[in-house]
Every structure is written in C-alpha cells, then in structure tokens.
Amino acid sequence: MIAQATLALIVLTSAGAHAQGSIFVSVPASGDLFNAGETIFVAGSVRDFNGAPIAGVNVSAQLMDARGFTVPGVGDSGRSGTGGTFALALDLPTSLPGGSYAVFVSSPNATINSAGVSVRIVARYTSEVTPYLWGALVVVVVLALLGLFALFRATRPVPRPPPPGPGPQ
C-alpha cells in the first residue's frame, strides 16, 4: 500500500539562497519498516511554493544512519519528470545493522529544499549463525538424553543378591 501524504520534512537551503521549491517524499512513509537486503523505493515530487511541479530537477536519495552519516553504497539519483515526479531505489546491503535510519532526498540545486523520512531497518538473519544454533541444539539433546538415562537408572529397582543360605556342607 502506498501512502499519499506529505511527510514531516527536514528543510535545508544553502546560506543566502532564496528557495524556489521543495522536494516532497510520498514513499516511503515515515516509520516504515524494511529488512536488510530489500530495496526501498523512494517516490515524490518537486514543487514550487504555489504547488506547481518543477520538471528537470536533479535529485538524489541516500540512506543516513542514526548519527547522520551517509551509509556507503546506498544511494540513487535521477531527474524530476514533466509532472515534477521522481522515483528512485535504494538497495539495502544484507549486512546492514538493524536500527533507525533516514531516507534523505536532496538536489544539488541550492534553491530546492531537501526532505527526509525516518525508517526502521531490521537486520537480516544470516546463515553464519546456523552452525552455532545446530551446535547448541546438539548439546541440549545430549544433556536431555543423559538426564533421562540418569532418571531411568534412579527409578529402576536395583537387583539384590540372594540372601546367604547355609554354607557348604
């Protein structure tokens, strides 16, 4: 489901520049959840302050971590179309740690305000953990079997030797 709402924006302009328009992000929605290894599709528009679309604006999207640093290798760029719209894709690495991130969309054009949307990333389960899980499972099964064996021995009647009878004659 695609949310069609203008989201909370991080507005930035260069010092001394008079903004002519803004970037609006409609997808993803603020707070959306993604898994490491997935693709975040970013869509929105560039509009002037009267709401008219601005075509031909270079835009780029980047993923930023909770400290505000750009995640290396996760970005895309393009141009707004005739309706001022753009669509970009951010391919998340499978090794990306889980946590809070921001999708930040900007333009090199200093007169266009940038926008950011907060998202959550869930770390991907990797097969590197699998051998440890199997090892732990084997230990648990062996301990359970040893416990059952000890319980069986404790509840089984112990055979007693026959009572001594009269000695040899």
Give 43-97 pLDDT, tens digit per residue: 999 999 899 999 999 999 999 999 999 999 999 999 999 999 999 999 999 989 9
The C-alpha atoms of residue 126 and residue 115 are separated, in whole angstroms, by 33
pTM of the model: 0.63
Q: What is the mean pLDDT of residues 28-49?
A: 93
Tokens standing for residue 12: 């930035």
Is residue 14 very low, low, confident or very high in pLDDT (cuts 50, 70, 90)?
A: very low
Classify residue 85 by burial, with Cβ atoms within 10 Å: 0-12, 13-18, 19+. middle
The pLDDT assigned to 158 comes to 66
pLDDT digits (tens, 9 = 90+) for 156-168: 666 777 777 776 6
Nearest Cα to Cα of residue 81 among 113, 110, 46: 46
Task: Identify the DSSP state of 118.
Answer: E
Tokens standing for residue 113: 């305000």
Query: Exposure string (b/e) for 119-128, b if CB count within 10 Å is 16 or more?
Result: bebeebeeee
φ, ψ of residue 148 to 5 degrees: the values are -65, -40
pLDDT digits (tens, 9 = 90+) for 121-152: 998 765 555 666 777 788 888 888 887 777 77
- The gap from C-alpha 130 to its chain's centroid, in whole angstroms, comes to 20
Side chain identity at residue 40, one-letter code: I
